[in-house]
Structure 1
Amino acid sequence: MNKSTDIDIVVRYLEDPENEQLKAELNDWIEQDNANLDIFLDMKAMWQGDPLPAASSTYDVHGQWEQLDQQLVAPAAKPTPVVQMKRRYWWAAAAVLLLAAGTWTFFGPGGYQTFATNQQRDSIRLSDGSMLYLNSNTRVRYAREFGKNSRTIKIDKGEAFFDVTKQDNVPFIVNTPEVAIQVLGTSFNVKSSNHDVKVFVESGKVSATYKATGKKVILTPGMEASLNSQQHDIDTKTYSKRNNILAWKTRTLIFDETPLSEVAASLADFYHVQVKISNPQLADKKLLATFPDLSLDEVLDIMRKTLRINITKTNDLVEIY
């Protein structure tokens, strides 16, 4: 479903919240992706002229679901026709923006911005001079007044790399639903999935705090912290200079006598496929190769010839045997 269709579903419901069919369509759309609830709440707030929550605030998702469920059952007040028309045109313009650019943004009356990518990658230069690089399928948001008195960004989902300009008096803060990250000036990567957040530091020093328990870890260059919301714990790992954590940004995969089991994991993450090693004896086989922005088929062909192994690819499944 494209973004213009998404917006149309929400707008039609906001124009006629008592319509049972529109309620059902909205509910089905929200259930497709947890992030759609945030999008709906943002659009509803803008529709009503309410200020949006600050980027650093904690969102009560469970509570919002309960409120929404009541809304979709109980009658709701209907906006006046004049307001409907004005906002209809405003959101129609927003829909055009979504179609015109792979990275889209919402501007709310509360001075709040949301950026998101679909299948492509993108980058944003922030007002303080810091650079934000977004991987595909990533959604972030921050206040329009970012950089003046605070520098806070929230990652709703996906993966982003931050190259932060140093400001001793204004810390740079990155929030995910489970983890708070604070720096002054550094470069680091944050990957947020359903139940796991990974923070990797390329330069400088980063403080990562697990919100549920208050546990905190200090990361220095080459270190990665994995914070699992189901385990309520923090695991750390130190990498050598040769790793592929930032391959999505550099578009280059580097394997320096890397075991095939690790190669498979890197390929799966980079190309968004499932990689299975059917022959366990191949798991420790080493690969020495550099792949500069090659297609998956090209990489697999080189691996076949270099390691003299069999590889088949069917749709999104790669099998090594």
Structure 2
Amino acid sequence: MDHFSDNTIPWHLISSALQGNINLEENAALQHWIASGVQNRELFIQLKNAWDNDLDELQAYLQADETVGWHALQGKLVEQEAAEVNSKVKPIAGTIKKRALLFTVLSVAAALVLVAGIWYMKAGSSRNFETAVAEQQSVTLADGSIIKLFPASSLEIPPNYNGAVRKVILKKGEAFFEVRHQEQKPFVVELGIASVKDVGTSFRIKKTNDSIHLVVVDGSVEFRNNANGEVRQLKAGMQATLLTGAGVSGPLIVSNPVADSGFSQNELRFINTLLPEVIQQFRVEYKKQITIDPAIAQKRFTGNLEGQSFDNAIDVLCRSLNITLVRKNDLYYLTKE
């Protein structure tokens, strides 16, 4: 954070954006600031992640001793306002509204400072993400890369992620990686006995107790067996499996195409699949009459919805793609929000 000074960071614009009440003019100014430097973009993404993912911690901070002064001030203002109302002295016009606005401004500022504080503290420690059996989560990294974590999975992002090597650790489960390629900063997924290095791509990894399975969707990757040093380069459409059971150290089993793998788009497992194809599989699987607005036909979905009820599956789909479900009797229609 030595690269920034308080007077160069548009805190008021960031605050409005995080709360979702930024107007067009303010948003244009904020986007200009974000686009003016990599550090600006990374700071905004990290603050947004803190805001989105650390609300529980924020509530704890709001209840902490450090906020006693704030609550005391709030209490005094409320007492003063009550005294004015009960007295015969008529408050100055607009006083109550101005105080309400003051509460709002101070609350927003306090919340943003607390979120920034959470982020600063976490900057020196690992960030861990874990999903439940029926949960999925999307993680946006400081460089703009996106990791989609599937159910029953665990991911760690080390504190020095954006250093010379952008390293993340998939501890268990399944994840889809959309990597922003940087020639000088390779992206590496550590898997214990193996690792995957980005060469400009998007790919998917499934890690179980006895195997690691990799599918390359776009570009290419290097798949390394750390036990014996074997390295294989896989291009789009290729897949590889490494058996990791007791006493097993490889070799890497490479095959092609993706359609033959456990990641096939049969049933309800999708990799960068066009929405019409997803909906066709929904029709087959759930026996529902579903149509879509042509305006959203080019949207793509990545996710594992196996074992989900129709209501849960369609909810995940809508939330992931920012679309709306309209139901009339037994007919379902998907459209823009």
TM-score normalised by length of structure 2: 0.43
**Which protein is bigger by CA-based radius of gyration?**
2
TM-score normalised by length of structure 1: 0.45
